[in-house]
Amino acid sequence: MNSAKVAVVGASGYSGEELVRLLSLHPTAELVALTSRQFAGQSLAAVYPRFTGTRYGGLEFVGSEMAPILGSGARLVFLALPHGVAAEFAKPLVAAGLRVLDLSADFRIKDPAAYEEFYGEKAHAPELAAQSVYGLPELYRAKLRDAELVACPGCYPTSIILPLHPLVKARLIDVATIAVSSVSGVSGAGRTVKADFLFAECNESVRAYGVPKHRHLGEIEQELSLAHGGPVMISFTPHLMPVTRGIHTTIFATLSPGVEPGRIGEAMHAAYDREPFVRLLGPSSLPDTKHVTGTNFLDVAWRHDPRTNRVVLLSAEDNLVKGAAGQAVQCLNVMCGWAESTGLL
Amino acid sequence: MNSAKVAVVGASGYSGEELVRLLSLHPTAELVALTSRQFAGQSLAAVYPRFTGTRYGGLEFVGSEMAPILGSGARLVFLALPHGVAAEFAKPLVAAGLRVLDLSADFRIKDPAAYEEFYGEKAHAPELAAQSVYGLPELYRAKLRDAELVACPGCYPTSIILPLHPLVKARLIDVATIAVSSVSGVSGAGRTVKADFLFAECNESVRAYGVPKHRHLGEIEQELSLAHGGPVMISFTPHLMPVTRGIHTTIFATLSPGVEPGRIGEAMHAAYDREPFVRLLGPSSLPDTKHVTGTNFLDVAWRHDPRTNRVVLLSAEDNLVKGAAGQAVQCLNVMCGWAESTGLL
Amino acid sequence: MNSAKVAVVGASGYSGEELVRLLSLHPTAELVALTSRQFAGQSLAAVYPRFTGTRYGGLEFVGSEMAPILGSGARLVFLALPHGVAAEFAKPLVAAGLRVLDLSADFRIKDPAAYEEFYGEKAHAPELAAQSVYGLPELYRAKLRDAELVACPGCYPTSIILPLHPLVKARLIDVATIAVSSVSGVSGAGRTVKADFLFAECNESVRAYGVPKHRHLGEIEQELSLAHGGPVMISFTPHLMPVTRGIHTTIFATLSPGVEPGRIGEAMHAAYDREPFVRLLGPSSLPDTKHVTGTNFLDVAWRHDPRTNRVVLLSAEDNLVKGAAGQAVQCLNVMCGWAESTGLL
Amino acid sequence: MNSAKVAVVGASGYSGEELVRLLSLHPTAELVALTSRQFAGQSLAAVYPRFTGTRYGGLEFVGSEMAPILGSGARLVFLALPHGVAAEFAKPLVAAGLRVLDLSADFRIKDPAAYEEFYGEKAHAPELAAQSVYGLPELYRAKLRDAELVACPGCYPTSIILPLHPLVKARLIDVATIAVSSVSGVSGAGRTVKADFLFAECNESVRAYGVPKHRHLGEIEQELSLAHGGPVMISFTPHLMPVTRGIHTTIFATLSPGVEPGRIGEAMHAAYDREPFVRLLGPSSLPDTKHVTGTNFLDVAWRHDPRTNRVVLLSAEDNLVKGAAGQAVQCLNVMCGWAESTGLL
């Protein structure tokens, strides 16, 4: 396999840090530049002691400007930046012929009006969003191979879209009845220095937020609408719980009239049996975030309740891996023609 | 206010321990007997070091038999026992003219067939269950005053029934659309010595269980059906999260046709504005388990989503207090004619 | 018992919040004023949802100025302020004849040079420090009765001084050999909004800090030197661990030549058997922070190791209660002539 | 590099599970047999869902007997068994010419009397213990190359011996003054199903245990005595804290008379600068367990306190990696002539 040089722009948050951890273990990707406004001039190990003595511990952060990125020889660039800022970087990088994997929300939503509805501001680069590929390899593997710009999904959307997609596509469930409750670890809030995320405020606490209209609904409903072939609107309530990593999602939906419950499992197996990172659990298991922490797996289970004719879908992932950095590396593998699990298993 | 002598039978689990803690702080209840098969002959403080130097630290456990309970002079008896066992104690106690507050499931479900459906065994004392009062003071205050046998609600049901009751009763929501996701602290599993509840198995973990038919559905659907005036069946998925105490519940339901969203809040305020232990949160707050830990409060909020015409109800409680021991003490206060918040505020 | 009006100045940190919680439960103290620069004009419940529906939930914060404090009718004032700021408030309050209980470090250290050594700045009011009483009721009960200014101890010092005091005073241990390792919950850092105290930085983490010269050494060595009748210098390493509340302290010291190990226990029992808030554990128990959380107890155990002739002293407390607010209320009880455990048991 | 076939006997505890995780990532070790009395006949993934879809997920546990181990073709065998049981397996395996890496205590202590003193039972195979190599590569690398039987160190000893060894050997500290306080995550207790290790008993708790004579003192003092060239006895207090993984150790010792403090750092750097898994932290950093979790690193720092002339040594490791399974793999690498960090970085 050929190797490829990559850069990470904005490696000062948890997703960026996780990306560097995964790239340290990757046999064919070579990290050649790390940028951070805040840490320019310091080594990776000086900023994140965890990396001392590892492959990139001595790599120095450069400033977040075009020149050092372009000069690094990187052919692919990960953007781990706040939304809005990411678009500013993506434009010149794509223009310069580099392939970009963006972990922000800037290119996930194709419809600028939808972006504006959910983010409360104008879409930052709608023309680029239009040509981007949504970075869910399970759905867009073929398009990812030649993608110039990949919009990596949000953490919640990955855990919601994948379990629902085969059922929505096959019209096995009534899309008007979908209700989703997710619980996320606190790293999902990023390294945001706010009182809300202090240890003593999060420990021994669980609370909902973003009710009833969390931003991630934009991309979730976009992908479900595409699968359904018509507009889908769902309910979604995220919660914060006292773990560092992990998202658990529970989805309720009513079966479409006349659908045999057994078809749920058939659709799931048809969709995911050959996927390296979606694990369908058997009838005696339910997902548990601790089984996926540090891995790129999404664990999925389902149960039909004959009393209500609802199906309950359950999934678990590591929000920083399959929900962010790991999925981006999975996309990288597809883009570079490497085995999809390279560096991830 | 008159004082009353009380006993606690089976004080070796977390609910029983919490009951003793609350009774220690209660000005008019006097704890005169504590029973435990396992700990008979030892002092409370020897078994639970936390109680050393407190009001009942020196009280000795007696064996779990009738004689010492009847001989203690207690007029009211709390049963903190496994289901099945509780019924064995309740029968002779009630027959002897003592008033019983049972924290198990034995008397919660009036219909023996429903008990058998959800618990997989015959109802243990259906004739007693028929005359028991369900121990939710907010719904059954009047009946509790003279109750001989109180069936204290389960931890999840309290957090689910109270938010839904006013809406179901006023037919503001379509009962066929109710879906509930709850997250509980690990003390909800009791002091059960199983590998599943070891620290290293629960920490950094969130997982669902009892899908799709958890036992608590029996009492939840019974109370909602009574409010609705007809059978109600709902979806309910409980989860375990790594906190010691606390339940957070999120409920989705579609508004009945033609209902103005504003009527949700009106019904809530009409039902609970005068309740000492139900706190309705305003438009800028959502429940957080850490605000109710150690207290007898149930915090409740709601949001209407015009996109889907669903209401999202959210609640938080301490599973060992409002979800168990605190609610039992609230019932005690009603039964004894004391101010309802005595010893609880 | 007479009641007394009290005020809390600076109730926006964890110690201040805990003070309000304890005063809510206190039968003879009446909280008449709460000050906070940040929250002036808002009710306690609006700022801390936990207090909604409780005794002082409707009390409004006033600005942190002299006029409203003096106008409130309070006879005793708690200061829950950063060091340096506390002194600014204490001076006019004491001058106005109010009795002050200060939870900061400003008056704990009698020797201005020692204060400067450990805090890196001039002592803020050395003349007041000279006349203050160190707020450890177990050591200074008699002086506290008439104290005008009480310097409430730090959280670590309480857990260190009390176990050591009887042994140092009786010269049973060699003071040159004392080494102390403490572990504290994160609330000990206060509600400080720093990246270091974010959930994801503290969870699944334990780390030392303040090595080798933590500020609390100043007051610890002052009190041990007084007990010893000569200068004492010790080693002390504090650590942060992922719990909200609790301090556990482990102390190593070599017995003085010729001392029988049995004398350790005798000295402990002689000192603390009649103390309401020091619990001496027996030979089969060791302190556990979860047994003291939410209480004003300090649990203490000791073991002699014949191999090394060292004694190991172990203690546990809730850093916000016996380590801060609870101890201040205990002092209040002494100052007002109330039973020492009023509102604390 | 040549590859080698290995087996893991007793892979049902946390150390065994971690060993399998590390071997999954190892490029030159091939796991050919996994034994477990309890799980024989089930696949690894069925028992530990975390391994589903990974390299050894489909590997089936065989019974814990000699035949399947010998028949597997393994040349090296890891024993992850309780002490006492390990010796029973080691004897025939060594006799059959297989190389054994034992993670239990059975062969760590050379002196049978010392074993009996600390474990309260006769040494299980003193003649084998005599010829075993203590599996600390930093101290015994040369001997490990040809070792037939490796006694992998305990979790605490690794974190204590390595920081102390260079200072004891160079007689920079007074060995009579060494006092050690360690804090461990709960996985250190193994998958022991006891009430003490339930989530609700460990969460929000810190407590000491094994005071004053924990079993690990045997091997710690053996190795320090060898370094010192004479008997060393120390004080050691372990504590349990609410994290899954991680040990933090804090050591106090007085400098030998006339020793310049600067020599501490010199000795540390001379000993460890070339070690791949000991990271010496600089003057502005202190160890934090979260920086080593999941890795084979031991992070070490030190501070001299001129006031007391003591040095404080601090270290952090993952108790399941450098404290157990990772160190065993590091030994494997040495034994097989592979680069020492193979599969570990």
Q: What is the pLDDT of residues C147-189, one digit of tens each?
A: 999 999 999 999 999 999 999 999 999 999 999 999 999 999 9
Q: C301 with C287: CB under 8 angstroms?
A: yes
Residue type at position A164: L
pLDDT tens readout for residues C3-15? 999 999 998 889 9
Substitution target from B17, B186, B198 for chain D, most D beta carbons within 10 A: B198
Q: Which of D155, D202, D331, D336 is catalytic?
A: D155
The per-residue pLDDT for C11 is 82
- Residues from chain D that touch A49, judged by Cβ atoms under 8 A, are 281, 285, 288, 291, 299
Closest residue in B to C280 (Cα) is: B52
The per-residue pLDDT for D1 is 60
The answer, yes or no, to whether residue C114 has pLDDT greater than 80, is yes
CB-based contact C49 B297, cutoff 8 Å: no
Helix, coil or strand: residue C256: coil
Distance in Å, alpha carbon of C92 to nearest chain B alpha carbon: 35
Q: How far is CA B242 from CA B198, B212, C205, C243, in A?
A: 11, 22, 16, 12
CB-based contact C203 A201, cutoff 8 Å: no
Of A11 and B248, which is predicted with more confidence?
A: B248
Closest residue in A to C198 (Cα) is: A198
**ipTM associated with this complex:** 0.97
Could you tell me which of A243, D250, B162 has the C-alpha nearest to residue C181? D250
Q: C155 with C319: CB under 8 angstroms?
A: yes
CB-based contact A199 C204, cutoff 8 Å: no
CB-based contact C345 B288, cutoff 8 Å: no
Q: Chain C residues within 8 A (CB-CB) of chain D?
A: 177, 179, 181, 183, 201, 203-209, 211-213, 233-235, 237, 239, 241-246, 248, 250, 252, 286-290, 293, 303-305, 307-308, 310, 312, 314, 316
How many other C-beta atoms are found inside a 10 Å radius of the C-beta of residue B190? Answer: 18
The per-residue pLDDT for A233 is 98
CB-based contact D199 B199, cutoff 8 Å: yes
Which single residue is written with the structure tokens 């994290």?
Answer: D243
First-to-last C-alpha distance (Å) of chain B: 17
How many beta-carbon pairs under 8 angstroms link A with B? 153
Q: A261 with A285: CB under 8 angstroms?
A: no
The per-residue pLDDT for C12 is 82
Q: Touching A: which chains, 3+ CB pairs < 8 A?
A: B, C, D
pTM: predicted TM-score of the whole model, two decimal places:
0.97
How many other C-beta atoms are found inside a 10 Å radius of the C-beta of residue B304? Answer: 18
Dist CA A33 CA A12 (whole Å): 13
pLDDT tens for chain D, residues 1 to 345: 689 999 999 988 899 999 999 999 999 999 999 999 999 999 999 999 999 999 999 999 999 899 999 999 999 999 999 999 999 999 999 999 999 999 999 999 999 999 999 999 999 999 999 999 999 999 999 999 999 999 999 999 999 999 999 999 999 999 999 999 999 999 999 898 999 999 999 999 999 999 999 999 999 999 999 999 999 999 999 999 999 999 999 999 999 999 999 999 999 999 999 999 999 999 999 999 999 999 999 999 999 999 999 999 999 999 999 999 999 999 999 999 999 999 999
Dist CA D215 CA D116 (whole Å): 10
Which single residue is written with the structure tokens 């040549």?
Answer: D2
Distance in Å, alpha carbon of D194 to nearest chain B alpha carbon: 6
How many beta-carbon pairs under 8 angstroms link C with D? 153
Q: Catalytic annotation on D152? A: no
Backbone angles phi, psi at B291, to 5 degrees: -80, -10
Could you tell me which of C261, C237, C260, C221 has the C-alpha nearest to residue C110? C221
Please compute the mean of the pLDDT values over residues B100-105 and round it to a whole number: 98
Q: Touching C: which chains, 3+ CB pairs < 8 A?
A: A, B, D
Please compute the mean of the pLDDT values over residues C111-127 and round it to a whole number: 96
Confidence of residue C1 (pLDDT cuts 50, 70, 90): low
Low-confidence ranges of chain A (pLDDT < 70): 1
Q: Chain D residues within 8 A (CB-CB) of chain C?
A: 177, 179, 181, 183, 201, 203-209, 211-213, 233-235, 237, 239, 241-246, 248, 250, 252, 286-290, 293, 303-305, 307-308, 310, 312, 314, 316
Distance in Å, alpha carbon of C9 to nearest chain D alpha carbon: 29
Q: B37 with B64: CB under 8 angstroms?
A: yes
pLDDT tens readout for residues C290-319? 999 999 999 999 999 999 999 999 999 999
The per-residue pLDDT for B2 is 87
How high is the mean pLDDT of chain B? Answer: 97
Burial class (CB in 10 A: 0-12, 13-18, 19+), C174: middle
- Residues from chain A that touch D23, judged by Cβ atoms under 8 A, are none
> DSSP E strands: which ranges in A53-134?
61-62, 76-79, 99-102, 133-134
pLDDT tens readout for residues B18-56? 999 999 999 999 999 999 999 999 999 999 999 999 999
| Of A49, A294, A295, Cβ closest to residue D291 | A49
Residue type at position B59: L
How high is the mean pLDDT of chain A? Answer: 97
User: CA quadruple B304, B310, B311, B316: dihedral positive or negative?
Assistant: negative
What are A322's two structure tokens? 């399959």
Q: Is C300 left (phi over 0), alpha (psi -120 to 50) or beta?
A: beta
Distance in Å, alpha carbon of A156 to nearest chain C alpha carbon: 18
Which single residue is written with the structure tokens 């501070």?
Answer: D303
- Residues from chain D that touch A300, judged by Cβ atoms under 8 A, are none
CB-based contact C288 D205, cutoff 8 Å: yes
Enumerate residues 6+ apart whose C-beta is below 8 A from B263.
Answer: B170, B172
CA C268, distance to chain mean position in Å, is: 20
User: CA quadruple B269, B274, B280, B281: dihedral positive or negative?
Assistant: positive
The answer, yes or no, to whether residue B1 has pLDDT greater than 80, is no
Catalytic residue numbers of C read 155
Catalytic residue numbers of B read 155
Please compute the mean of the pLDDT values over residues C265-290 and round it to a whole number: 97
CB-based contact A295 D50, cutoff 8 Å: yes
How many other C-beta atoms are found inside a 10 Å radius of the C-beta of residue A273? Answer: 9
Distance in Å, alpha carbon of B54 to nearest chain C alpha carbon: 6
Enumerate residues 6+ apart whose C-beta is below 8 A from D257.
Answer: none
Closest residue in A to D50 (Cα) is: A291
Please compute the mean of the pLDDT values over residues B180-195 and round it to a whole number: 95
Substitution target from B43, B50, B291, B340 for chain C, most C beta carbons within 10 A: B50
| Of B206, B235, B246, Cβ closest to residue A312 | B235
The per-residue pLDDT for A211 is 97
- Per mean pLDDT, which range of A311-315, A334-338, B1-5, C253-257 is the poorest? B1-5
CB-based contact D52 A345, cutoff 8 Å: no
| Of A183, A289, A303, Cβ closest to residue B212 | A303
Where helices occur in chain B by DSSP H, the ranges are 14-24, 44-47, 66-71, 85-95, 112-119, 126-131, 137-144, 155-169, 199-202, 217-228, 262-272, 326-336
The per-residue pLDDT for A2 is 87
